[in-house]
Chains A and B, each alone.
Chain A
Amino acid sequence: MRWALAAALFLALALAQTPTGAPPPDLSPEVFRIASQLRCPVCQGESAAESNAGVSQEMRRQIAEMLREGKSEAAIREYFVKRYGEWILYAPPKKGINWLLWLAPAIGLGAIGFGLWRYLAEARRREAELALSEEELKALERRLEEE
Chain B
Amino acid sequence: MRRIFYLAIVAVLGGLFWWGLQRNPGELKSVLIGKPAPDFELPLLAPYRQEWGDRFRLADHLGKTPIVLNFWASWCYPACYEEAPVLQAAWERYRGRVLFFGINNQDKTSEALKFIDRFGLTFPQGYDPRGRVGIDYGMYGVPETFFIDRAGKVRYRHAGAIDAATLEAKIGEVLR
Which residues of B are found within 8 Å of A87, using beta-carbon distances?
Answer: 28
Which residues of B are found within 8 Å of A2, using beta-carbon distances?
Answer: none
Option from B132, B137, B138 in Cβ contact (under 8 Å) with A58: B132
Q: Helix, strand, loop or mixed for chain A's interface?
A: helix
CA distance A41 to B29 in the complex (A): 13
CA distance A62 to B132 in the complex (A): 9
CA distance A80 to B134 in the complex (A): 12
Please give the number of chain A residues whose Cβ is less than 8 angstroms from any Cβ of chain B in the complex.
14
For B25, the closest partner residue in chain A by CB is A44
Contact with B along A33-48 (1 / 0, CB 8 A): 0000000011000000
For A111, the closest partner residue in chain B by CB is B9
CA distance A5 to B31 in the complex (A): 60
**Contact, CB under 8 Å: B31 / A83:** yes
**Contact, CB under 8 Å: A41 / B139:** yes
**Contact, CB under 8 Å: B135 / A62:** yes
**Contact, CB under 8 Å: A42 / B141:** yes
Given A54-B106, A55-B106, also A84-B138 (CB < 8 A): yes
A31 within 8 A of B: no
Option from B28, B31, B131 in Cβ contact (under 8 Å) with A82: B31
Option from B28, B130, B135, B141 in Cβ contact (under 8 Å) with A83: B135
Which residues of B are found within 8 Å of A83, using beta-carbon distances?
Answer: 31-32, 135-138
Q: Which of A52-87 contact B (CB under 8 A)?
A: 54-55, 58-59, 61-62, 80, 82-85, 87
**Contact, CB under 8 Å: B135 / A58:** yes
B140 within 8 A of A: yes
CA distance A89 to B122 in the complex (A): 39
Which residues of B are found within 8 Å of A85, using beta-carbon distances?
Answer: 29, 31, 138
Shortest CB distance B9–A (Å) = 10
Option from A54, A61, A84 in Cβ contact (under 8 Å) with B31: A84
Given A54-B106, A83-B31, A84-B31, also A41-B132 (CB < 8 A): no
15 contacts between A and B (CB under 8 A): A41-B138, A42-B140, A42-B141, A55-B139, A55-B141, A58-B106, A58-B134, A61-B130, A62-B132, A62-B135, A80-B135, A82-B31, A85-B29, A85-B31, A85-B138
Listed in ascending order, the chain A residues whose CB lies under 8 Å from chain B are 41-42, 54-55, 58-59, 61-62, 80, 82-85, 87
Listed in ascending order, the chain B residues whose CB lies under 8 Å from chain A are 28-29, 31-32, 106, 130-132, 134-141
When A and B form their complex, which 4 residue pairs have the shortest distance between CB atoms, in order from nearest? A83-B138, A54-B106, A85-B31, A42-B141
- Please name 9 further chain A to chain B contacts, defined as beta carbons within 8 Å, in addition to the given A58-B130, A85-B31, sorted by A numbering: A42-B140, A42-B141, A55-B135, A55-B139, A55-B141, A58-B131, A58-B135, A62-B132, A85-B29
